[in-house]
Chains A and B, each alone.
Chain A
């Protein structure tokens, strides 16, 4: 982890942010890469897009996936990705948007299309995983994954999500699912709706910093 830079500097000591985020997401950072037995191949190494962020990008503008490097997913893969994103992160409230409406699958596409060492291994895992998902949906239900009824989607997801023991033949698919979920959650919980869902209410200018509420202090036995 030492050389993987912090995603969240300055909030505490900047280097510590790295460790702290790492602590909160310990296993998220340790998903296994595709093993040698897996059919999912490691990339040859060449970055797909070529264009990088650079050392001096404009910082105070808003970027969308595709701004810096071309995206990868085919329309079919993108459809499967959108559908799986919505299955993993269903809206809490009636008025909420689906994660796919917030562009979470586009973030995943941006990620796997980027020319960085940190993202390179995910490209084959995600693209081949999405292909597998449609193929498995066809095998079981004769439809693409996105066109399945929810119980059918769940039947496949239950086999690979790792909540119960995963059969040997689904190990590659499980690896895909873990990684996809990591990316989908990262994409979703960084949006304002995701903030609301997770219970993050910061980043709002206030005159005073009030510290913990009486309820929070009581929760911790500090009241």
Chain B
């Protein structure tokens, strides 16, 4: 089995996985390692980071010095192809013309999806994050606790390779000894911030990122990942040896040809293919899930994007991991007499409670950083961060949930705007540019959004994409919990920059202006929330749709809260957990 063409499709599979990113990649990995025959459908083209990544191209090698464009929003060399907030021929619509009520939907139509370019920040949700309703009466509790997920966080961290440290802080879980890879050293400016804000009670600690700071323990990890499964151990041991450690150069967002960072395409899919149990069909855009006379899911109808024709494939179970928006869209478009409102939608909650992360930022300049003795500050993206530090003050803040702070300093690869704002020209101009280079600092908050009734997606009654598939229409509204949080971020960042002796740009006091538009942080989750009650949720704790237990939603769609922690690690942990359960249920003959 391999990356196949439509002609090579088999007549039946055990499981069809729709999507090849974090959720789909993890699902396919777990299932195939357990001997399950899987067909993965990917809407975009095949993509191989080993041969396609622009590892050492300079910005001068790219058109327009690698400027971000509508077609390549994060710059020319960003790994994403055929993706962005706009995908030609695949529109989505906004219910409101009010810019504060828009949701910008990022998609990546390529093998590996959004895992190819993401920030690799891999923070565990803490115990509080699974029971937010119990703490403050807002949103929803998960039907699972941190302890249910912790073993899967352990496994995912070992499998994908995550650097970081254990700090023993509140709601910021430690990993078992030997699980994390050592964090890279903090940069000069990061140490400077740490020293000068210690008096504020704000810890600056190593962040967790899915990057191999050293090679993985291919001797001991395989048995911890796959006990009693020698074949799987052998395959993953080999795959781990095919990944190199980070060499501290080139930008992770470009992807990584030496497989030092996590992309589904370099970490999940190669061992899954090596099992011989995985077929991957690219350019196959899932349109709907089909249901048999018994009411169970029995396959998927997809559009072959090469020929434009619709095809049907069959399986004993279906996993949607198409991104939470796309998963909701497929469910809502899967209408039948039996399910007139879309599949698995008896609760009426498919498409409801979509969430993003609260984002706001502020930059400034720090005179102390000027003329810093020249040294290599490249490293591997983010090295440190400030976890939420005000759990004890939650009742005084005027907003319910917290945020963490990411910040950037250092002498990083110059790009557009490298000349800064220095006046004049000639020798004195160049001297000033050199003096001020690396003296900038930027703080960004990433905070929890509480799910609300006004943020949802539905099928647009009119608009269809170029394949004739009805598209999503988005409704969006931030509550005061989010806008006040954004205002708090702005004030905090201004205070931080002042505390370190810098000069901040003007902070935005109006949180509704400071907050990034919905979808801009690309932490889209929800839309098919999990719960303990079939009437109030779409899936159970195993990501199984209540009404159709052989249909699983293994991406962010099943999230019923969106902690400040970036969602990808949790998507993978839950996908592994759900896939393990699916294997058990299939073995028992329950599905």
Which A positions have Cβ atoms within 8 angstroms of B?
2, 4-17, 19-29, 52-57, 59-63, 67-68, 87-90, 92, 107, 110-111, 114, 116-119, 154, 157, 161-163, 181-182, 184-192, 194-195, 197-213, 215-217, 219-220, 222
Whole-angstrom CA separation of A187 from B411 in the bound complex: 18
In the complex, are the beta carbons of B84 and A90 less than 8 A apart?
Answer: no
Q: Is B14 part of the contact surface with A, judged by Cβ < 8 Å?
A: no
In the complex, are the beta carbons of B69 and A211 less than 8 A apart?
Answer: no
Q: Is B59 part of the contact surface with A, judged by Cβ < 8 Å?
A: yes
Q: Which residues of A contact B444 (CB under 8 A)?
A: 13, 15-16, 19
In the complex, are the beta carbons of A13 and B406 less than 8 A apart?
Answer: yes
Question: Which of B293-301, B341-349, B428-436, B555-563 forms part of the interface with chain A?
Answer: B428-436
What 10 A-B pairs are tightest by C-beta distance, nearest first? A10-B253, A23-B363, A185-B419, A5-B68, A25-B417, A211-B185, A20-B442, A202-B378, A24-B440, A12-B408
Residues 433-475 of B at the A interface (beta carbon under 8 Å)? 433-434, 436-442, 444, 446
Other-chain residue from B63, B247, B413, B441 in contact with A67 (beta carbon distance below 8 A): B63
Q: How many B residues touch the partner, as a band?
A: 35 or more
Other-chain residue from B359, B412, B420 in contact with A25 (beta carbon distance below 8 A): B420
Given A55-B82, A202-B412, A217-B188 contact (CB < 8 Å):
yes
Q: Which residues of B contact A181 (CB under 8 A)?
A: 419, 425, 429
Whole-angstrom CA separation of A118 from B189 in the bound complex: 32
Other-chain residue from B67, B427, B439 in contact with A7 (beta carbon distance below 8 A): B67
Chain A interface main SS type: loop
Residues 377-427 of B at the A interface (beta carbon under 8 Å)? 377-382, 406-408, 411-421, 423-427
Q: Which residues of A contact B522 (CB under 8 A)?
A: 15
Given A114-B64, A205-B247, A220-B368 contact (CB < 8 Å):
yes
In the complex, are the beta carbons of A201 and B375 less than 8 A apart?
Answer: yes
Whole-angstrom CA separation of A29 from B68 in the bound complex: 14
Q: Is B53 part of the contact surface with A, judged by Cβ < 8 Å?
A: yes
Other-chain residue from A8, A116, A154, A220 in contact with B251 (beta carbon distance below 8 A): A8
Q: Which residues of A contact B415 (CB under 8 A)?
A: 7-8, 21, 186, 190
Q: Is B365 part of the contact surface with A, judged by Cβ < 8 Å?
A: yes
Residue of A nearest to B252 (CB): A10
In the complex, are the beta carbons of B247 and A24 less than 8 A apart?
Answer: no
In the complex, are the beta carbons of B251 and A11 less than 8 A apart?
Answer: yes
Q: Is B311 part of the contact surface with A, judged by Cβ < 8 Å?
A: no
In the complex, are the beta carbons of A28 and B82 less than 8 A apart?
Answer: no
Q: Is B505 part of the contact surface with A, judged by Cβ < 8 Å?
A: yes
Other-chain residue from A4, A21, A56 in contact with B82 (beta carbon distance below 8 A): A56
**For chains A and B in complex, what number of residue pairs have CB atoms within 8 angstroms?**
349
Question: Which of B225-233, B277-285, B513-521 forms part of the interface with chain A?
Answer: B513-521
Other-chain residue from A14, A199, A211, A215 in contact with B117 (beta carbon distance below 8 A): A14
Q: Is B60 part of the contact surface with A, judged by Cβ < 8 Å?
A: yes
Q: Which residues of A contact B83 (CB under 8 A)?
A: 55
Q: Is B187 part of the contact surface with A, judged by Cβ < 8 Å?
A: yes
Per-position 1/0 for B40-83, Cβ under 8 A of A: 00000100000011111111111111111111111111110111
Other-chain residue from A16, A118, A209 in contact with B379 (beta carbon distance below 8 A): A209
CB distance from A202 to the nearest CB of B (A): 3
In the complex, are the beta carbons of A205 and B248 less than 8 A apart?
Answer: yes
In the complex, are the beta carbons of A186 and B65 less than 8 A apart?
Answer: yes
Q: A56-B45, A216-B373 are in contact. List 4 more A-B contacts (CB 8 A).
A: A26-B505, A57-B76, A116-B64, A187-B60
In the complex, are the beta carbons of B423 and A162 less than 8 A apart?
Answer: yes
In the complex, are the beta carbons of A8 and B373 less than 8 A apart?
Answer: no
Q: Is B197 part of the contact surface with A, judged by Cβ < 8 Å?
A: no
Q: Which residues of A contact B187 (CB under 8 A)?
A: 211-212
In the complex, are the beta carbons of B119 and A190 less than 8 A apart?
Answer: no
Of A17, A117, A192, A219, chain B has the most CB atoms within 10 Å of the CB of A17
Other-chain residue from B189, B411, B516 in contact with A202 (beta carbon distance below 8 A): B411
Q: Which residues of A contact B517 (CB under 8 A)?
A: 2
Q: Is B35 part of the contact surface with A, judged by Cβ < 8 Å?
A: no
Whole-angstrom CA separation of A195 from B411 in the bound complex: 10
Residue of A nearest to B363 (CB): A23
In the complex, are the beta carbons of A90 and B420 less than 8 A apart?
Answer: no
In the complex, are the beta carbons of B372 and A219 less than 8 A apart?
Answer: yes
Q: Which residues of A contact B377 (CB under 8 A)?
A: 202, 212
Given A59-B54, A111-B64, A206-B248, A200-B117 contact (CB < 8 Å):
no
CB distance from A204 to the nearest CB of B (A): 6
The 10 sampled A-B contact pairs (Cβ below 8 Å) are A11-B408, A13-B119, A59-B57, A87-B426, A197-B434, A198-B414, A202-B412, A207-B247, A211-B185, A211-B187
Q: Which residues of B contact A187 (CB under 8 A)?
A: 60, 65
Whole-angstrom CA separation of A199 from B437 in the bound complex: 8
CB distance from A166 to the nearest CB of B (A): 11
Whole-angstrom CA separation of A29 from B417 in the bound complex: 7
Q: Is B254 part of the contact surface with A, judged by Cβ < 8 Å?
A: yes
CB distance from B257 to the nearest CB of A (A): 9
CB distance from B329 to the nearest CB of A (A): 20
Q: Which residues of A contact B66 (CB under 8 A)?
A: 7-8, 190
In the complex, are the beta carbons of B52 and A60 less than 8 A apart?
Answer: yes
Residue of A nearest to B254 (CB): A10
CB distance from A219 to the nearest CB of B (A): 6
In the complex, are the beta carbons of B82 and A185 less than 8 A apart?
Answer: no
Other-chain residue from A2, A205, A211, A222 in contact with B516 (beta carbon distance below 8 A): A2
Q: Is B361 part of the contact surface with A, judged by Cβ < 8 Å?
A: yes
In the complex, are the beta carbons of B119 and A14 less than 8 A apart?
Answer: yes
Whole-angstrom CA separation of A10 from B117 in the bound complex: 8
Q: Is B97 part of the contact surface with A, judged by Cβ < 8 Å?
A: no
Whole-angstrom CA separation of A188 from B186 in the bound complex: 29
Q: Is B96 part of the contact surface with A, judged by Cβ < 8 Å?
A: no
In the complex, are the beta carbons of A9 and B253 less than 8 A apart?
Answer: yes
CB distance from B263 to the nearest CB of A (A): 12
CB distance from B113 to the nearest CB of A (A): 15
Q: Which residues of B contact A21 (CB under 8 A)?
A: 415-417, 440
Q: Which residues of A contact B407 (CB under 8 A)?
A: 12, 16
Residue of A nearest to B191 (CB): A222
Q: Is B374 part of the contact surface with A, judged by Cβ < 8 Å?
A: yes
